[in-house]
Amino acid sequence: MKNYDFVIVGGGIAGLSLGYELSASSRLLVLEQEDAPGYHTTGRSAAIYSELMLEPTLLSLAVESKRFFIDPPNLFAQTPLVKTCGCLFVGGSKDKQNIEAACQRMNDLGVECQVIDGDDIAKRVPVARQHADAVFCGLFEPNAMRIDVDQLMQSYVKGITARGGVIAKKAAVLALEKSANQWVITTSKGPFSASTLINAAGAWGDRIAELAGVAPMGLDPRRRTMITFDAPQDYDITSWPPLGDFNGSYYYMPDAGQLAGSLSDETPSPPCDAQPEEIDIATAAYTIEQNTHLEIKKINHSWAGLRTFAPDRLPVIGPDPEDKHFFWCVGQGGSGIETAPALSKLAARIALNDEAEAMAAGIGVDLELLSPARFR
Ligand SMILES: Cc1cc2nc3c(=O)[nH]c(=O)nc-3n(C[C@H](O)[C@H](O)[C@H](O)COP(=O)(O)OP(=O)(O)OC[C@H]3O[C@@H](n4cnc5c(N)ncnc54)[C@H](O)[C@@H]3O)c2cc1C
C-alpha cells in the first residue's frame, strides 16, 4: 500500500491549491471521485474577484490572493489569470443611505469604491432599467476582476505534478480507518495510507468526517443557479462590469460573448451533483428582465453548484481538536476561488507547523476565527 505524508480528499480549488502548497516539501496524494478536478462547485462558479461587501477576514485573504493572481509562480501558465472588469451593485432610492454607508465602510477597509448615480449606471451598463425602487444609485468597484478558473486549476495540477505530487481521478474515498497512527484510506482505486488526512471535500466535508469517526462541523451546502442567454446585438457588452442587486436578489455579467446571470439563490441542499431547478431558471430570467431592457427569449445554458458554508460563514482550516491528523479545509462558501491562494498557503503552514501565526498576522487574519476548534 502506497504511503504519503498527506492525502487530500477532494480535487476542487480547495484540495488542489492546498496540494500545490504542500507538494513542495511533502509526499502528497489528491483523491478526486470524479474523472476531472473541479467537476463540482469549482467548475460552476461566477469566477469573480470582488472585494466589495466581503467580511473582513475574507477580505484579507482575498487581498493577499490578489498578489498571487497578478503575479503567479513560474510553474504557472504565463497567460494572465485575471482580467480587470469592475463590479457594480445597484439599489433603489431607499437603499441610498445603506449604499453610502457600505462605501464608507469598504473605503475604511482599504477597498477602492465609489457611490454612483443613475446616469453613471446607464453609461456603464446601458440595459439597466432605471427605476426608483431598484436601479437608482450604485456602488462601483473599479478594480474587481474575472478569474480564469480553468487556467488556475490547470496550473495547480501542473504545479503539483511537477513537484512530484499525485492526483488520482475516479478515486472515491469509501472508508477511513486508523491503524498504527496511520490513516488507511479505502478508495475505488485501491487502498492508500497517510500520516495526515486532509478533508477538502466541499459539500461532502461532513460526510468525510463521518467516515473518519470525527464530529461534523455543521456544514451547510446551498445551491446557486446560473443561466446564460444571448446578449443584445446593438450593444458592445465586453466592457460591462458584473452588475448585481445591492440586496442580493440577482446579478448578470458578460460571459464569453453572452450574458450570464443568477438569482443569487441559496437553497439548502444535501451534497450532490447539483442540477438547476426549472423554477429557479425561470425566476432568474424574469428578475433580470424586470430590472433591464433585455428580453430573454431563450436560455442557452443553465447550471447549479453548491456553495458550502460553516455555521459562521468563514472557512474552516486546521487540525481537528480531537484528532490532529484529521485536517479540515472546508467552508469556502461563495469566496473559495478568490481566496484560494492565501487560504491554501495559510493552511499549508498550519499543516507543516511552519510559522502560520506569523503569516496570519502579516496579512491581518486571526487564525482562531478559521480554526475548527471554534465549533467544539
Ligand atoms: C454559482 C456559483 C458562483 C460562485 N461564484 C464565485 C465567485 O464569483 N468567486 C469565488 O471566489 N467563488 C465563487 N463561488 C464559490 C466557489 O466556487 C467555491 O467556494 C469553491 O469552488 C469551493 O471549492 P471546493 O474545492 O471546496 O469544492 P468543490 O469544487 O466542490 O471540490 C470538492 C471536491 O471533493 C470531491 N469529493 C467529495 N467527496 C469525495 C470522496 N468521497 N472521494 C473523493 N473525492 C470527493 C468532489 O468530487 C469535489 O470535486 C461560486 C459558487 C457557485 C456555485
Q: What percent of the chain has pLDDT over 90?
A: 97
Topology of the domain covering 87-142+220-309: D-Amino Acid Oxidase; Chain A, domain 2 (3.30.9)
Which residue(s) pair with 255 in the sheet? 258
Ligand 1, CB within 6 Å, residue ranges: 9-15, 31-34, 38-42, 44-48, 172-173, 200-204, 224, 226, 305, 307, 332-338
CB 326 within 8 A of CB 214: yes
pLDDT band at residue 78, thresholds of 50, 70 and 90? Answer: confident
| Cα-to-centroid distance, 274 and ligand 1 (Å) | 11
Q: Stretch 323-332: mean pLDDT, rounded?
A: 98
Instruction: Please report, for the chain, the start and end positions of each structural domain, with discontinuous segments joined by +.
Output: 2-67+148-219+312-375, 87-142+220-309
Quick one: cell of 127?
Answer: 440595459
| Cα-to-centroid distance, 40 and ligand 1 (Å) | 6
Is pLDDT above 90 for 328?
A: yes
- Residue 252: the pLDDT is 98
Identify which of 247, 322, 230 has the alpha carbon closest to the alpha carbon of residue 291. 247
Taking every pair of Cα atoms in the chain, the longest distance, rounded to a whole number of angstroms, is: 68
Which residue(s) pair with 278 in the sheet? none
Topology of the domain covering 2-67+148-219+312-375: FAD/NAD(P)-binding domain (3.50.50)
Q: What is the DSSP string of 27-51?
A: -EEEE-SSSSTTTTGGGGS--EE--
List pLDDT tens digits, range 269-325. Answer: 999 999 999 999 999 999 999 999 999 999 999 999 999 999 999 999 999 999 999
Q: d(Cα 207, Cα 219) in Å, to the nearest integer?
A: 10
Q: Stretch 174-186: mean pLDDT, rounded?
A: 96
The amino acid sitting at 320 is: D
- Residue 134: the pLDDT is 81
Is pLDDT above 90 for 132?
A: no
| Cα-to-centroid distance, 74 and ligand 1 (Å) | 25
pLDDT band at residue 214, thresholds of 50, 70 and 90? Answer: very high
